[in-house]
Structure 1
């Protein structure tokens, strides 16, 4: 039973609400994942110290401006949890992080080295018009210096947001684009105009502002590590369900 805003909520009602909102499967999956993690860390002798938990808790307090003990207790009460619940959650997350490092630290670096091209990016501008003839005319005007790509995108693009951004689409990986378009874009020299290309019955002019070579940053390393760990958990879950 949980007390919320002065009223009591029974466990059965919580479970019923999760079921009605189609959230029960997600919760059950998290429970099984935690069991898998607990078993794996025990087998490998991985542990979390009270100091580890305290460090994370202190960081959370700082980030959320919980400078006094009373602030922390008020936050815990608002979250409907106890200090023990909070620390147990921190412990579970730290165990998962340590297990992921144990299983895939070297594999993540190896994966990046073998798939480095997949992490290359381009900074892409796009101008989309409905007709190929218009696209061709704009292409020649840009090539002749009569108008800049950015001005043309601001005037002619069919999409209001892209007009406001003067054609800027953002940074893209190879896999963000259709294979045939990706091959053209990543083979182009930055600053050169590409097109017109017919994509989904509209005509596109593309401009690569910058090519961004892949780099194994801490963020990207963590992204690869998390994906490998998630795939491992899913595999372990499937094994349990089929055994």
Structure 2
């Protein structure tokens, strides 16, 4: 161990001792870690946190890594606490997840019930993305002002229709959340747009120059019918002028509602070129206003689309917001590909490629 690494170990131990002696909470502990990282830029220093639900006690462990070498794990435990290696030594398949009346659902049984989701890559990606976002925020924290946190809480309550204090309390009870956990959840959600801004900063204009046509927009009216033959016949009637598009859309809407399968899509939509399916993208963006496109196979039937307008992209606020999302998704994709991902439950063969 060279002198610089030895000094880093001593500094980390001092840091851990101060956290325990001063009963520092996790948010402040992560903030205090930043100066320590700054003193040792050649090392990767990560903080691990475990908080006991019943008494809110916190145990900290720090991992110190040097590129191409091993990892040093450091922790400090006061006299009456349980050391890090002895925590969670019960068998995982004996862990209880939830008790409903006298029935207990264990973690392994819950995972078996949810195993069907493993074919849904977006769900898996969201789980991995959450870990990657947390890791990035631990490495380079982003803070919220009290006003920003309150605004985020107001948006959350409005979205959940929690207009009264008792509504919020009932929601917290149903979801097993304390006020502190709810505040943490809302804060983490509100920080993600700030992280997106940070990642996209300085790259928006260049990305637009290279991919401007991806953000061309088509404004359309659309509806779906269940049967392909019926959709083709209806398209011919509309093109020949024997059927009016919006009258046909109205009949299709009432017909779907009577069958109990109303379309989730609205009548009007704005589509960016990059969002359009490849099988009809060129046809859609080459169409003149008023022209009919389709039928095109959709989620619940076959879509007929009437083009209202097609406009080339401009770098205004909406386009900037779209580019930020693209850059953020690209960043997450790169991080997922580079990450070491270990699934503890579910079908590993289905999740290992995420």
Structures share a fold, TM > 0.5? yes
How much has 1:125 moved relative to structure 2? 6.6
The answer on whether the counterparts of 1:34 and 1:92 sit within 8 Å (CA) in structure 2 is no
SS at match of 2:220: strand
Alpha-carbon separation, structure 2, partners of 1:36 and 1:81: 23
Post-superposition offset of 1:220? 5.0
Other-structure match for 1:78:
174
Cα distance in 1 for partners of 2:130, 2:203 equals 22
| 3-state SS, counterpart of residue 129 of structure 1 | helix
| Aligned residue number for residue 263 of structure 2 | none
Pair 1:46-2:142 in alignment: yes
| TM-score, normalised with respect to structure 2 | 0.46
Match of 2:337 in 1: 238
Q: What is the Cα deviation at residue 15 of structure 1?
A: 4.3
Instruction: Name the one with the larger helix percent.
Output: 1
Distance 1:5 1:54, change over 3 A: farther
Identify which of structures 1 and 2 has the higher relative contact order when contacts are C-alpha pairs closer than 8 Å and 6+ apart: 1
Can you list the C-alpha shifts for 1:185-212, whole angstroms capped at 9, x where unaligned? 4334324x579x9989xxxx98533334
- The alignment status of 1:56 with 2:128, answered yes or no, reads no
Give, in whole Å, the separation in 1 of the partners of 2:130 and 2:281: 39
Shift of residue 226, structure 1, vs aligned partner: 3.0
Distance 2:97 2:181 in 1: 13
Partner residue of 2:252 out of 161, 180, 189: 161
For 2:36, the equivalent position in structure 1 comes to none
Matched, 1:102 2:198: yes
Of 109, 114, 126, 1:21 maps to 114
Task: In structure 1, list runs of 5 or more residues that go unmatched.
Answer: none
Contact 2:222 2:267 (C-alpha < 8 Å) held by counterparts: yes
The Cα of 1:80 is off from its aligned counterpart by: 1.6
**Structure 2: which 5+ residue stretches go unaligned?**
1-95, 224-229, 256-265, 298-303, 342-354
Which digits, 9 at most, give the CA deviation of each residue in 1:196-238, with x for residues without a partner? x9989xxxx9853333444556555444423432332232132
CA separation of 1:95 and 1:32: change in aligned 2, threshold 3 A: same
For residues 27 and 138 of structure 1, the distance between their equivalents in structure 2, rounded to whole angstroms, comes to: 40
Shift of 1:98: 2.0
Query: Alignment partner of 2:307: what SS?
Result: strand
Partners of 2:281 and 2:305 in 1: how far apart? 11
RMSD: 4.7
Change (3 A) 1:129 1:34: closer
Given the alignment of the two structures, is residue 67 of structure 1 paired with residue 158 of structure 2, yes or no? no
Q: Deviations over 1:113-153 (max 9, x none)?
A: 5433223214257995359xx95x986x54xxxx56549x8
TM superposition shift of 1:51: 4.5
> Which of 129, 143, 152 is the equivalent residue of 2:232?
129
State the aligned residue count.
218
Taking structure 1 as the reference length, what is the TM-score of the superposition? 0.62
Per the alignment, residue 189 of structure 1 pairs with 288
